Structure 1
Amino acid sequence: MYQLKAYIKFLLNSQNQHGLHSPFVYDLVTQCFYDKKQYPEYELLNEFRQGLLNNRETIQVTDFGAGSKVFKTSERPVCGIAKNVGVSPTRAKFLFRLTNYLKCKTALEVGTSLGLGASAIAANKQTRLLSIEGCPETANIARKQFEKFGLENIQLKIGEFSEVLDKDLTADHKFDLVYFDGNHQKEPTLKYFQQLLPYAHNDSVFIFDDIHWSPGMEAAWEEIKAHPDVKVSIDTFYQGLIFFRKEQAKQHFRIRL
C-alpha cells in the first residue's frame, strides 16, 4: 500500500522529455531512457534471466538488509528469487542502455543477488565490474551464471559490503558507475553513499534501487539529493540516479520511463 501511494504521488509530479531545460538531461532522456533500439545484448539478458527462472534449486539466503517482502523463510528457490526479487527485464535493459550511453569503463555493484543487474552492466564488454554480495549461496548461483555466459569482465567478491569496500578499494579507484542494490534501509544506504563518494569523479553516476521501497529509503534519497556534491538527481520511481557534474546548477527531476 505504501509503494502504491508513493507511485501515485510520483506520477502526479513526474514528466517526460518535454520541458527539460538541462541539455545534459534532455539528451540522456531522449537518447538513452527512451531509446527503443533492440540491442543484440538484450538476448543475453533474456537468456541469463531464463536460466535462473528454470533453476528449481533451493538455497539458504542470508539477508543483511531489509529482508524480503515476498519470502517468509531463508530457504528460497532460485526461480522464485529471480521472478519476485531480481531486477526486472525493463530495469535490466535500462541498466544496459545507461552503461552503454555513458560509456562506463569501471563499475561497482553493491548487492549482486543472482546477477541480473550485474549481467546488464557487464553485457557492455568494455565495462569492468566489481560486484559484491553478502550471501555465499546466492553469490555461488551468480558466479555459475557469469561463467556460463562468458561474463569474464565481472569480478565477484563475497562479504559484508563495508568490509569488502574497506579491504579492496584504494584511494586511486574511480568508478564511472556505482549501482546500489544491496540493503534497502536508510542508514546503510547513506553509509555506503558516504563511503563511496571519494571514488566518484565529475562524470560518475550513482544508481540507487528501490528509492520508494519504504519511508526510510525515501528519507535516504532526500538526504542524498541534498548533498552538496550532488548536482543532478533523476527519480524514475524504481531507481534514483545522481550525477556530480560541477559545471551544472543543482537540479532535481522526476522522469517517467
Structure 2
Amino acid sequence: MLYQSIQYIKFLLKSTNQHGVHSPFVYNLVTKCLYDKTKHKAYSSISTYINALLKNSSKIRVTDLGAGSQVMKKQERMVSKMAKNAGSTHKRAKLLYRIVSCFKPKNILELGTSLGIATYPLSLGNPESIIITIEGCPNISAFTKKQLEKFQVKNVNIVNGDINEVIGKHVSKQYDLIFFDGNHQKEATLSYFETLLQTANNDSVFIFDDIYWSKGMTEAWETIKKHPKVTVTVDTFFWGFVFFRKEQVKEHFSIRI
C-alpha cells in the first residue's frame, strides 16, 4: 500500500485533465468518454448487479491462479466480501460501460472474470458485441455464469481454465477491446500482452488493470508503453489504456479521472 501511495502522489504531480491534451483523438476520448457526466440508464442496472453481490452472503471456495488478493487470503470467501474488495468499483464499472459505449467494440476479451463486475458493464456497453471472458477458478466461474444469466446477459461466454493454458486458443481472431485483469504480476502481464498483440487491429484498445499494484506491474506498464507497435497510452493511475493507431504520433498521457 505504501508503494501505491507514493506512486499516486507522483501521478498527481505529472497528470493533467483535458486542457493539457493536444491530441484530437485523446481529447475526444477524455471529454466524450472519460469525463462524460451523462446519467446513462445502464448505470442503474450496473448498480443493481454490484449491490446484489454486496448483499450475497453465500461462500465460494476459491482457487487463486494469479497473484491473488492483497486483502483476502482464506480459500473459502463470502461473495459480499469478494465484491467489496473487487478492483472494479461502481465508478470503474460505469467507466468501463462508457468506454465500450464509445468505441462499440465487436469482439471483446476479458482476462479474469471474477464476479462479473467488469463483465456486466462490458456486455451492456455494446449488446451486439461478442465477449469471451476467462476465469481460472471453477467455482467462481460457475457462480458468475449463473449470476449473469439472472441478469439476462446473452453475449458473454465464460471460459474456465488457467489463462496461461487457454489463452493460446483465443488468438485466432482480432479483438477490438481486451481487458487485462487476470494476473497482477509483471511476467504474466507481459506474456499476455505479447501473446495477444497479434489479435490487435489499428482501432483496438488494450486496458490494463492496476498498473501501480506493485513495482513489478509498473515495470510491466513501462515496458508496454515502449513497445514499437504501441502508439498512444493513457495512464489513469488505476487503469492503463493502450492504442495501436498507426496514424498517431507516439505519445503518452497521464489523465486524472
Taking the aligned partners of 2:170 and 2:255, their CA distance within structure 1 comes to 35
Report the counterpart of residue 12 of structure 1 in structure 2.
13
Taking the aligned partners of 1:86 and 1:113, their CA distance within structure 2 comes to 10
Report the counterpart of residue 3 of structure 1 in structure 2.
4
Amino acid at match of 2:55: N
Q: What SS does the aligned partner of 2:20 have? A: coil
Deviation at 1:43, TM superposition (A): 1.1
Report the counterpart of residue 90 of structure 1 in structure 2.
91
Aligned residue pairs total 255
Taking the aligned partners of 1:127 and 1:42, their CA distance within structure 2 comes to 19
User: Which of 126, 129, 137 lines up with 2:128 in the alignment?
Assistant: 126
Gapped regions of structure 1 (runs ≥ 5): none
Report the counterpart of residue 156 of structure 1 in structure 2.
158
Report the counterpart of residue 186 of structure 1 in structure 2.
186
TM-score (norm 2): 0.97
1:205-235 per-position Cα deviation (integer Å, ceiling 9, x unaligned)? 0000000000000000000000000000000
User: Which of 159, 165, 168 lines up with 1:166 in the alignment?
Assistant: 168
Deviation at 1:60, TM superposition (A): 1.0
1:52-75 per-position Cα deviation (integer Å, ceiling 9, x unaligned)? 111101111111111111112111
CA contact (8 A) 1:86 1:114 kept: no
1:5-40 per-position Cα deviation (integer Å, ceiling 9, x unaligned)? 111110011000002110000011000000000111
Per mean C-alpha deviation after superposition, the further-off stretch among 232-241 and 52-61 is 52-61
Give the superposed CA RMSD. Answer: 0.9
| Structure 1 stretches of at least 4 aligned residues deviating more than 6 Å after TM superposition | none
Taking the aligned partners of 1:80 and 1:142, their CA distance within structure 2 comes to 15
User: Which of 138, 141, 146 lines up with 1:139 in the alignment?
Assistant: 141
Deviation at 1:86, TM superposition (A): 4.1
Gapped regions of structure 2 (runs ≥ 5): none
Percent of residue pairs bearing the same amino acid type: 51
Q: What SS does the aligned partner of 1:178 have? A: strand
TM-score (norm 1): 0.97
Q: What SS does the aligned partner of 1:37 have? A: coil
CA contact (8 A) 1:234 1:252 kept: yes
